[in-house]
Amino acid sequence: MSVEAGSKVIGKVTGIKPFGAFVELPGGKTGLVHISEVADKYVEDINEHLKVGDQIEVKVLTIGEDNKISLSIKKAQDKPKPKPRAKTPSPEDFEKKLSGFLKDSEERMSTIKRQAESRRGGRGRK
């Protein structure tokens, strides 16, 4: 199996350093998973996530001209599709709702005023 940028492969962790982990890939090549590519969250100590001998799935990010292979564990994981966001109302919908609210509000205010005047016996009316 050839190792190409963008492909997912299974590799074996052969060494761990504070900055990342070295992974042996099919065909005997070795690549590096930088500590920032180990997990979706912040990784302070890579030893909490990986140990020498672990079989892991990695995605090949790049293969440099000097044949250095950059790998990612977090990009190799299939993530669930994000839920669709609620539809944002259009300006026309907003205007329609606002005018309906204003109409309803004016009707309620006039009802309240009529009730208040009837309690006072109609005083103050011209």
Per-residue pLDDT of the chain (126 residues; tens, 9 = 90+): 578 888 999 999 999 999 999 999 998 899 999 999 999 899 999 999 999 999 999 999 999 888 899 999 999 887 776 777 777 767 788 888 999 999 999 999 999 888 888 887 755 555
Task: Report phi then psi at 24, rounded to 5.
Answer: -85, 125
Q: Chain-centre distance of CA 48, in angstroms?
A: 24
Closest listed residue to residue 57, CA positions, set 28, 29, 82, 33:
33
